[in-house]
Amino acid sequence: MEHNGDWKTLSNEALTKEEKLKWAKVCYPELVQLVQLLQSSTYTVVLTGAGMSTESGIPDFRSQSGWWKNIDPRKVATVDALEEHYSLFQEFYQTRVKALENIEPHIGHYILAKWEKKNLIQAIATQNVDGLHQKSGSKTVYPLHGSIRSFRCHHCDQAVKEEVFMNEDSCSICGGKLRPNVVLFGETLPSDVWDSAYQSIEQADLVIVIGTSLEVYPVNELPSLTKGKTVLVNVDEVSGFYPFDVIVKGKAKEVLEKLNELLEL
């Protein structure tokens, strides 16, 4: 049997399931290892970062094309920025909200939602504020850095609608500044969400980390909490000392599609 890495081998009708798995073990050993971990795990948590959404058209932060390559996060993503440079803060978040108008989840998001329905994964903890996991049907999602799809007054916490944030400067109740419900640098994460994610990862026997540089505290501590196996799916190397059990170098959507094909063999 051919041993080139041509993925089309998997749809070759002439091959048996055993032959296809044998081929995959030779050409894509990490994918087969991850499939085996997924199938044998009883509690799996997926931890995602901005790399999970780039194939939907949302820039990440620290790649060459990321937000922080052109903008200093301290100027737009801190409470100080909100309080001292409100027009820059407002413009940055209005731009990101507007950019979400034509953004949809990609097939990788839908695969994760399907795996949850099939009880293959139990929860997703995400640093992403785009709501794409929820939009694609995942039910147990812990939005650790909040959401850019809901808004409030920074001073009196009054909830405001998106069109108010996009068109007004101040709160109609107290005159305070309006902001998205994202966790700004230096703010504490929502404690209920953090506790749920912390407990689920602590009890997990498999944690799959997808598309994050793991540069931001405290989320970057989560993978080391589990006593289970850890897997990293990322296009780049991730700095920091993380003894991942399996490393799959690749794009989130493509890797999830391949994993799903192997699972459905």
- Give the Cβ contact number of residue 69 at 10 Å: 12
Of 222, 252, 221, give the one whose Cα is nearest residue 234. Answer: 252
Which H helix or E strand runs over 206?
Answer: strand 206-210
Annotate each residue in 203-232 with x if it binds ligand APR (CB under 6 A) or - if it does not, as one string.
Answer: --------xxx-xx----------------
How many residues are given for the chain? Answer: 265
Active site residue 154: no
Q: Does residue 55 belong to the site contacting ligand APR (CB under 6 A)?
A: yes
Q: Does residue 247 belong to the site contacting ligand APR (CB under 6 A)?
A: no
**Structure tokens, 147:** 């959401």
Q: Does residue 194 belong to the site contacting ligand APR (CB under 6 A)?
A: no
Reply yes or no: is the peptide bond before residue 29 cis, omega within 30 of 0: no
The DSSP-derived string for 79-111 is HHHHHH-HHHHHHHHHHHHHHGGG----HHHHH
Could you say which of 106, 109, 133, 145 is catalytic?
145
Q: Does residue 127 belong to the site contacting ligand APR (CB under 6 A)?
A: yes
Identify the residue among 47, 51, 165, 246 touching ligand APR (CB under 6 A): 51
Nearer Cβ to ligand APR, position 202 or 257?
Answer: 257
Buried b (16+ CB within 10 A) or exposed e, 117-127: eeebbbbbbbb
Nearer Cβ to ligand APR, position 60 or 116?
Answer: 60
Q: How far is the CB of 89 from ligand APR (least distance, A)?
A: 14
Long-range residue pairs from 152-156, CB within 8 A, at least 24 positions apart, any chain: 152/178, 152/179, 152/181, 153/177, 153/178, 153/179, 154/82, 154/83, 154/178, 154/179
Nearer Cβ to ligand APR, position 49 or 180?
Answer: 49
Annotate each residue in 135-174 with x if it binds ligand APR (CB under 6 A) or - if it does not, as one string.
Answer: ----------x-----------------------------
Confirm if 206 and 37 have CB atoms less than 8 A apart: yes
For residues 83 and 76, give the distance between their C-alpha atoms in angstroms, rounded to a whole number.
Answer: 10
Nearer Cβ to ligand APR, position 171 or 209?
Answer: 209
Q: Does residue 78 belong to the site contacting ligand APR (CB under 6 A)?
A: no
Nearer Cβ to ligand APR, position 55 or 116?
Answer: 55
Q: Which residues are catalytic?
A: 145
Q: For binding to ligand APR (CB under 6 A), which residues are involved?
A: 49-51, 54-55, 60-63, 66, 73, 127, 145, 211-213, 215-216, 234-236, 251-252
